Amino acid sequence: MMTDGTSTQADIDRVNFLLTLRRRGISDQAVLRAMGEVPRTAFVSADLATSAYADQALPIECGQTISQPYVVAYMTEQLGVKPQHRVLEIGTGSGYQAAVLSKLAAEVVSIERYRTLADQARRRLNAAGCGNVEVIVGDGFEGCPDRAPFDRIIVTAAAEEVPAALADQLADGGVMILPLGPQNGPQHLVRITKSQTPEGTRLAEDRLIPVRFVPMLRGKAREL
């Protein structure tokens, strides 16, 4: 809010945005607080600022998108991040999801295949005071093995199956959220919970909600 007691349109949009999240079933107070603290306008281009708080995905550079606020909040809530957790994010994009996670976790490592997006996200995250986020240019399918294990892993692009390297980098008792499904077919958010049993490693899978994400691609981008 402005110091003279009046409200800007951005203030009003942010309040309505939080009310929409509550109406759609987001109830975790820490997640709602994080969503309210991160200025979504700082993670979209200036020409889309007036649409930043609309509950819709928006385009960003390199043919990617910033997910709609509800999906960001829902994935974050289902991930169950605690203050002591180390989180791996696959697909930095604009940096918005990483910024939300930074309010909840001890450390966030985010992998982005496009150098342009990684550089922009670092600038935005630094400006937003998200000092516990590290953005790395790399192949999301490979994760970040030298920093593993991670308590939580979130993937913001759709894979056709759970990447084996990411499952390996998930800590015992850890949780991974990712969209699964073909590029041109039905996709669902899936929650994977890892546990060790006498028979070996177990990955329990819960199907959550239908979604639509850009495809997860292998390797670093040769350009951009």
Catalytic residues: 67
Contact status, residue 114 vs residue 224, Cβ threshold 8 Å? yes
What CA–CA distance (Å, rounded) separates 160 from 215? 9
